[in-house]
Amino acid sequence: MSVVTRFAPSPTGRLHVGNLRTALHNWMLARKAGGRFLLRIDDTDAERSEERFVDGIRQDLAWLGLTPDGEERQSARLTFYEDAFARLRDAGRVYPAYESAQELDLKRKIALGRGLPPIYDRAALALSDEQRAAKEAEGIAPHWRFRLDHDEPIMWADGVRGGQSFDPAQLSDPVIRRADGSWLYMLPSAVDDIAMGVTDVLRGEDHVSNTAVQIQMFTALGAAPPRFAHEALLVGREGKLSKRLGSLGCDALRDAGIEPQALVAMLARLGTALPVEPIADRATLIETFDLATFGRAPARFDDADLERVNAAIVHQLDFAQVADRLPDGMDDAGWHAIRPNVAHVNEAGEWWRLVTGPIEPRSFDAETRAYLAEAAAALTWSETPWQDLTAVLKARTGRKGRELFQPLRQALTGRDHGPDMAELLPLIGEGRARARLDAAVRD
């Protein structure tokens, strides 16, 4: 059976790093098996869903290179949910309930006060037809719950957590439809997973109890449940769930100069036993992807780690991959020269000014100015001007190491450190190099 995974975001906001990690892992799970990765837009909440967020989801996935093999929108599938609802209602697996939010909250508090689990007491099942009719005559519209079968435990082999078992009597019958007729997550998701042929559901561990409920929904709808796996949630560097992670999305990361390859490399292995490394090759990441390596401990997202990976990824990028983001005039040789000094591609312009100027002038003592004057006189232009110049100066002055190189770098670039001068000086060119040495001597 071909593997089919899905990523099912709600378009009520921008994707954040937790969402992106889920999308990536589902994409990798499908790609490793030669299967299909589907995008499902869960937009049944018409009041909160916005088209701009749908566009944003597509753009973010495209930026990361996570191309779906198909897309569905729940707002276009409402008739399927009505049909499934009718079948479940006729089978006695859904029932109307009339409690208000305040009444349900009071019931939960009473149960907790008695040391009992705060689950729904199924009071609505005891209502007679006359009592239901009376409530509706009062204008009380029901919400609808899925009736869990309490006869047997709910069990499954989780791809990350191992064997799982839930006592359905310890779970509330979930609300699947609001009083206004709108749908909650549970039933539409199960209906769509069946229709889309989803074989594997990989999501956060906060959905574990939802899975127990949905397994019974699949069975009630006459379908075999997919394989489920629940990965640990992301936490921040401080070790707690971070509000910042809830707002840290692709737009913020792009603005910070993070490369998509770096984010993919980090999120691919975050929460696994495999080391987070600056691996730009997707094939390598996919080949090593294995649910058996996922741990139960929270996955720690550290900005410093992302910056480290990003810098290493930038140092691997070829000129063609960044050409459209480089300053005017910078060619392949220029990028190769400054690449080891940048942690973000958008820093290239700052280093390119060492070539184009102006540079920040430096003040030198009399001895150093005399040395630079000798350098100006000794400068000849060839394919290797830096090597030729330093070889002559070393022979004539006896200088070596820092004493030989540092004054030349300072005079030619205005910096104490930077790109390899053997690569940089040919880019500066003979005219600018002579002018900078002359200016340093005059100062």
Instruction: Identify any residues that bridge with 73 across adjacent strands, giving them in sequence order.
Output: 41
> Is the dihedral angle over the CA atoms 205, 209, 214, 216 positive or is it negative?
positive
pLDDT, residue 242, reads 59
Q: Which residue has the tokens 């359905």?
A: 168
pLDDT, residue 409, reads 97
pLDDT, residue 243, reads 61
- The answer to whether 214 and 190 have CB atoms below 8 angstroms apart is yes
Residue 394 annotated as part of some ligand binding site: no
Q: How much of the chain, in percent, has pLDDT values that exceed 90?
A: 91
Domains of the chain: 319-355 (no CATH), 357-442 (1.10.10.350)
**How far is 104 from 239, CA to CA, in rounded Å?**
34
**How far is 21 from 202, CA to CA, in rounded Å?**
11
The whole-model pTM stands at 0.91
pLDDT, residue 39, reads 98
DSSP of 332-380: HHHHHHHGGG-SSGGGHHHHHHHHHSPPPP----HHHHHHHHHHHHH--
3 state SS of 171: coil
> Is the dihedral angle over the CA atoms 255, 260, 264, 266 positive or is it negative?
negative
pLDDT, residue 241, reads 56
Q: How many CB atoms lie within 10 A of CB 274?
A: 16
**How far is 397 from 371, CA to CA, in rounded Å?**
8
- The answer to whether 98 and 140 have CB atoms below 8 angstroms apart is yes
**How far is 237 from 240, CA to CA, in rounded Å?**
8
Residue ranges of the chain with per-residue pLDDT less than 70: 1, 238-246, 443
CB proximity list for 206: less than 8 A, separation 6 or greater: 233
**How far is 207 from 144, CA to CA, in rounded Å?**
21
3 state SS of 290: coil
